[in-house]
Amino acid sequence: MNEINVYSEIGKLKTVLLHRPGRELENLTPDYLDELLFDDIPYLKQAQVEHDNFANLLRSKGIEVLYLENLAAESLINEEVKEQFIDQFLYEAKIKDDHNRKLLKDFFLNISDMQKLIDLTMAGISKSDLDFEEDSFSDKKERDNLFFVAPMPNLYFTRDNFSSIGKGISLNKMNSETRNRETIYGQYIFDFHPRFSKKDIPRLYDRRAKTSIEGGDQLILSKEVIAVGVSERTMLQSVKDFAQNIFREDMGFKKILAFDIGEHRKFMHLDTVFTMVDYNKFTVHPEIEDELKVYSIIDNDGVLETSEELDSLENILCKFLNLEEVILLRCGAGCDVTAAREQWNDASNTLAIAPGEVIVYDRNPVTNEHLKKAGIKLNYIPGSELVRGRGGPRCMSMPLFREDI
Ligand SMILES: NC(=O)NCCC[C@H](N)C(=O)O
């Protein structure tokens, strides 16, 4: 059996990957918020309560919930792999000072519990955690820094650093340094984890690529069509490279739609403004509709053909998904102020767990009511702390297996 099977956005969800927020959130401080892509510092205890509630809801629907941190720990299968991981982790954490790199390496090597080791690499290591000689820093920037190793607070957005697509995975090159460090866990899971490493899972993108692509921009609209956002995080060139790899693997995907949503922090990925909730129903943030440009990319005998689609979003979706009608459910239900506020709080970032059934934050009542009136079944989760990282149910989950529709 394949471990990865994702040919839609809405097929019944069977297995999903989460990351329970950990101490990395407590290593957020005001001076680092911008660099670490956060708007505020969540209260960890409450964020964990909210996240556990999300995981329990998924389990109550019969969905297998896996945790990134557990898979990563289980991937350090022997001392050799452990040491290779530590070396690569420290290299990517840019510990320039040889002396401190050696001390940190010894510190990590001495941890025999792999879970503890992984959790620490995620949380980061502050200067107050370890008793190192400050004077040994040659570089002023390193001396002034609060951390030896910076935390990775965005890990609970498992949607972004790699994506399951068809039977393959796109191990993404992230746009920011902080998020690109996260992709090391996916690398070790797919190289070494007993459940995933032996399955010949096709690789659809390389985390060392030159241009970035992020999972929040990758949406599987049908078994033939993938939408990819061209955004603050994903370049058109990356979409073309990704398309080439998709067509090479011959998994049945025939068309890539590149949705150019512009570069904005408030909607950094396509899934913050557009998600699929049923066979012919989509959430959409009205602010993107006027500016949106859509390009279709197909494979013509080994050569990519790209053309701009000059039509409304509805008509483009009808055409490419072979549908008679599509319904766009606008965030804020027609009110621009509500749309702006609720989109900021991830009202359009729904996670479909079956056709017509989604998980949403309870804090967006207007958009939620609009979806409900359109016949969508809603499951609510609280997210007052989780939302401070700017992501909703879709951002916080990576489906590994969906039933085909
Ligand atoms: N798919 C998503 O939109 N994920 C949310 C990512 C939020 C995170 N703070 C980031 O800026 O990358």
Q: What's the 46 CA to ligand 1 centre distance in angstroms?
A: 19
CA 192 to chain centre: 21
C-beta separation of 297 from 241 below 8 A: no
Q: Which of 386, 377, 390 is nearest to 273 (CA)?
A: 390
Give the type of residue at 167.
K
Among 87-101, 131-145, 164-178, the range of highest mean pLDDT:
164-178
Question: Would the pLDDT of 266 be above 60?
Answer: yes
pLDDT tens-digit series, residues 232-255: 999 999 999 999 999 999 999 999
Instruction: Identify the DSSP state of 11.
Output: S
Within 13 Å and on the Cβ side, how many CA atoms surround 24? 27
> Which region among 124-128, 133-137, 196-200 has the lowest average model confidence (pLDDT)?
133-137
Question: Of 24, 32, 35, 154, which is best to mutate to test ligand 1, by the most ligand atoms within 8 angstroms of its C-beta?
Answer: 154
Tell whether the model's pLDDT for residue 143 goes beyond 60.
no
The dotted CATH code for 216-402 is 3.75.10.10
Contacts 24+ apart (CB under 8 A), 286-293: 286/330, 286/331, 286/332, 286/336, 286/339, 287/339, 287/340, 287/343, 288/261, 288/262, 289/313, 291/261, 291/262, 292/259, 292/260, 292/261, 293/259, 293/260
Largest pairwise CA distance in the chain = 69
Clarify whether 395 is annotated catalytic. Answer: yes
For the CA of 159, the nearest atom of ligand 1: 1
β-partners of residue 226 are 220, 256
pLDDT score for 137: 55
Pocket test for ligand 1, best of 17, 37, 157, 272 (most atoms within 8 A of CB): 157
Q: Is 348 in the pocket of ligand 1 (CB under 6 A)?
A: no
Is the pLDDT higher at 322 or at 144?
322
Q: Please report where in the chains the tokens 């959130």 appear, as a residue.
A: 25
> Does the beta carbon of 229 sit less than 6 angstroms from any atom of ligand 1?
no
- Does 157 sit in the ligand 1 pocket, CB within 6 Å? yes
Cβ of 12 closer than 6 Å to ligand 1, yes or no, is no
**pLDDT (average), residues 157-168:** 97
Hey, is 152 helix, strand or coil? coil
User: Which residue among the candidates 318, 331, 335, 395 is catalytic per the annotation?
Assistant: 395
Nearest to 164 by CA among 116, 201, 112: 201
Q: What is the pLDDT of residue 198?
A: 82
Q: 0.80 exceeded by the pTM?
A: yes
Mean pLDDT of 287-299: 91
What is the Cα–Cα distance from 270 to 262, expressed in whole angstroms?
A: 10
- The pLDDT value given to residue 225: 98
Atom of ligand 1 minimally distant from the CA of 272: 3
Q: What is the pLDDT of residue 138?
A: 56
pLDDT band per the 50, 70, 90 thresholds, residue 142? low
Distance between Cα 127 and ligand 1 center (Å)? 27
- Measured CA to CA in angstroms, residue 336 lies from 236, 261, 281 at distances of 29, 18, 20
Atom of ligand 1 minimally distant from the CA of 38: 9
Pairwise pLDDT comparison (8 vs 97), residue with the higher score: 8
Cβ neighbors of 332 (< 8 A, separation 6 or more) are: 286, 338, 339, 340, 341, 342, 343, 347, 366, 367
Q: Is the CB of 269 under 6 A from ligand 1?
A: yes
Q: What residue spans define the domains of the chain? A: 216-402
* The length of the chain, given as a count of residues: 405
**What is the number of the ligand 1 atom nearest to the C-alpha of 268?**
3
ipTM for the assembly: 0.99
CB of 390 within 6 A of ligand 1: the answer is yes
Question: Which whole number is the average pLDDT over 113-124?
Answer: 98
Lowest mean pLDDT among 127-141, 271-285, 349-363: 127-141
- Band (pLDDT 50/70/90 cuts) for residue 1 is confident
* Alpha-carbon span 92 to 104, nearest angstrom: 13
Say whether pLDDT at 140 is over 60. no
Q: Which of 395, 396, 389, 391 is nearest to 37 (CA)?
A: 389
**CA–centroid distance, residue 38 to ligand 1 (Å):** 9
Angle between helices 79-92 and 183-192 (to 10 degrees): 160
Q: Average model confidence (pLDDT) for the chain? A: 95
- pLDDT tier, 2 (very low <50, low <70, confident <90, very high otherwise): confident
**Statement: residue 50 has pLDDT above 60:** yes
154 Cβ closer than 6 Å to some ligand 1 atom: yes
* pLDDT (0 to 100) of residue 333: 96
